[in-house]
Amino acid sequence: MSAGGFSNLLWFVGVVEYRQDGANDGRVKIRAFGIHNEDKTKVATRDLPWAIVIDGSYGATQCIPDVGDWVFGFFMDGSDAQHPMILGRVPGINLQLPPEASAPGDISMIPPESLCKYGKPPLHRAMGGEDAEVGQATIQQALKKNNIESASGELWSEPPIVSPERDLDNRIFTSKNDNNFVVLSDADDGRGTYILVSHSSGSVFQIDSDGSILVKSFGDTYNSTEGFTMNRTEKDMHTVVGNDWTLKVERGSGKVFINGDLDIECENFNVVARSVANINAGVAVNVSAGRVGILSTADDVNITAVNDLKMKAGTPLTFGGIYSDAHFGDIRSDSYKMNLTSTTYTKIHSLGLPVTPPYNKLIPYPDIGHKGVHITSPVLVNIDTLGTGIGIGGVVSISSGIVNMNSKVATGITSDALMAIQAEGNIDIEATGVLNMTATVGLVNIGVATLASATLIIVDGAKVLAKSGQEISSLFHPSGPGAPARLNVKTEGAVNVAPPKIPGTRTSVGYIFGGGKQTRETGNITSRMPDD
């Protein structure tokens, strides 16, 4: 190095020809105008000295000039010109040919690395305003979303992205070809300040002058953290999803608190609870659907009301009814008072089959030994007909294999019209006291069929009087209709929609990703309603 180098610096303006420093020191090879011959055959690029790029940011922003850039600096060894140092880039010369061009207009001699900058304005479009239509600004403005409808029907629009404009107060941090850049705007009057991070794809991060933040991705967006994520907004929050939306909690539980109403609208609503599902409302629970099905797969269905329990079915158009099926158990109703009222008829029909073991029911009667229809009252049992039914004639008909009517005090059977008692077998009438059979008007007829084998036996004290059917046929008077036909009771089974199979938990065993999945089957729950 020349002894007078630092005191006699040699200044230069040159062009960068090579920047691939194998030592990774950020050096470039320059051809200094007036110092190095412009003829590469006389001074090849490989013979040019390495120039150190001075970093005035103290390492905060490291930038290496591109091939074809004009730079300014000095040789710190003076006229020896072997140790160049670059102070900065010289803008505004992009319309001039590089020195290695053999002739003006011979574009083939321009280094390929500098073609993208040839004829390009020296200032970035976000500072000088030129070429505002170049780059991602066009797609950002074209794909701005307006009048986005939220779930509540409220409309909102994306804030506009700042377009490139002439603003010499802007500070620009740009990539090599200006496709990706950061704009720091700080106007003197305090208005129009913003921060913009813009990607060549159109994706952008922007902070407006009023502090509003816009994050827009023209690709996918991924948010992942190994710690906590806290989100809070003082006012409303609207989220609009174009396709599907899913939420998965891998471990722990989930809670949703809303100090107001919660409205959910969807096509089909499915809730799966692997254990217990609870719905607790402070005022009322209303369920309305075209069809409602309740199915208990393991235990009872318990319905309890503090006041009345009401059921209503059918309309004048549908004629719907209420049907209960318990083919393998009991139907039991316990009440303080019970009223059964029907507009047309009331039928009670029992097949009379004996109870199949095991006999495990004790209330209201032990299962063993009971069959048929039993009506019991410690005081009074009344069976009344007013005779107002059309085609019935006020007739009470009891048809069964065995009919027992027992009363501790009195039993009354009364009819304002005709009464018929008929049996295919025997009829036994017995009284400890007096047996009275009286006809206020007309005759008392006691007879048997006209068959010769039929016999009427009358016991009077110690006398037994027997007469054949032929002898007493004149006394026979048929009475009442025949045995009623088999009860025609409309039956219909309750229809329930079976729920889908409950999947096992999708939590990894031991919380190890990729491990086996544990499955928890539904337990057998015991009803807590007192019965049986």
CATH code (residue 88): 2.40.50.260
Predicted confidence at residue 408, as pLDDT, reads 58
pLDDT of residue 90: 85
pLDDT value, residue 125: 86
Confidence of residue 76 (pLDDT cuts 50, 70, 90): very high
pLDDT of the residue at 395 = 47
Q: Which tokens hold the place of 79? A: 């006229």
Please state, in angstroms and as integers, the Cα–Cα distance from residue 240 to each residue in 150, 152, 213, 214, following that order.
6, 11, 18, 15
Contact (CB, 8 A) for 353 and 367: no
Residue 406 has pLDDT above 80, yes or no: no
54-58, 285-289, 373-377, 394-398: least confidently modelled range: 394-398
pLDDT band at 4 (very low <50, low <70, confident <90, very high): low
User: Average pLDDT, stretch 162-188?
Assistant: 85
pLDDT at 526 over 80: no
Contacts of 479 (CB under 8 A, 6+ apart): 418, 420, 445
Contacts of 141-144 with C-beta under 8 Å, sequence gap 24+, read 143/202, 143/218
Tell me, what's the pLDDT at 361?
A: 65
Q: What is the mean pLDDT of residues 509-525?
A: 49
Q: What is the pLDDT of residue 427?
A: 72
Specify whether 176 is located in the same domain as 142: yes
Extract the tokens encoding 70. Answer: 């004009």
Q: Report, as an integer, the average pLDDT of 316-326.
A: 88
Last residue of a domain, one of 193, 216, 239: 216
Please report the pLDDT score of residue 48 as a whole number.
93
Helix H or strand E segment including 466: strand 463-468
Judged against a pLDDT cut of 70, whether residue 100 lies above it is answered with no
170 and 108, same structural domain? no
User: 283-292, 369-378, 388-397, 429-438: which has the highest mean pLDDT?
Assistant: 283-292
Task: Assess whether 33 and 72 both reside in one domain.
Answer: yes
> What pLDDT shows up at residue 214?
94
What is the average pLDDT value for the chain, to the nearest integer?
75
Q: How far apart are CA 140 and CA 131, in angstroms?
A: 15
Side-chain-side CA neighbours of 500 within 13 Å: the count stands at 7
Q: Quote the distance between the C-alpha of residue 346 and its chain's center.
A: 47
Q: Which of 120, 121, 218, 124 is nearest to 178 (CA)?
A: 124
Q: How far is Cα of residue 322 from the mean position of the Cα atoms in its chain? A: 33
Residue 124 has pLDDT above 50, yes or no: yes
Q: Which residue has the higher pLDDT, 174 or 49?
A: 49
Residues 117 and 139 reside in one and the same domain: no
Total number of domains in the chain: 2
Domain that holds residue 33: 10-121
177 and 78 in a common domain: no
Q: Is residue 435 part of a domain?
A: no
Q: At which of 216, 236, 270 does a domain end?
A: 216
**In this structure, what CATH number is given to the domain that contains residue 192?**
3.10.450.190
Give the integer Cα–Cα distance in Å for 261 and 135. Answer: 47
Interacting residues of 109 by C-beta distance below 8 A, sequence separation 6+: 97, 98, 100, 101, 102, 103
Residues 112 and 140 in one domain: no
Find the mean pLDDT for residues 204-231.
92
Query: DSSP characters for 314-359?
Result: --TTT--------TTS------SS-----SS--------PPPPSP-
**Are 79 and 131 part of one and the same domain?**
no
The answer to pTM > 0.75 is no
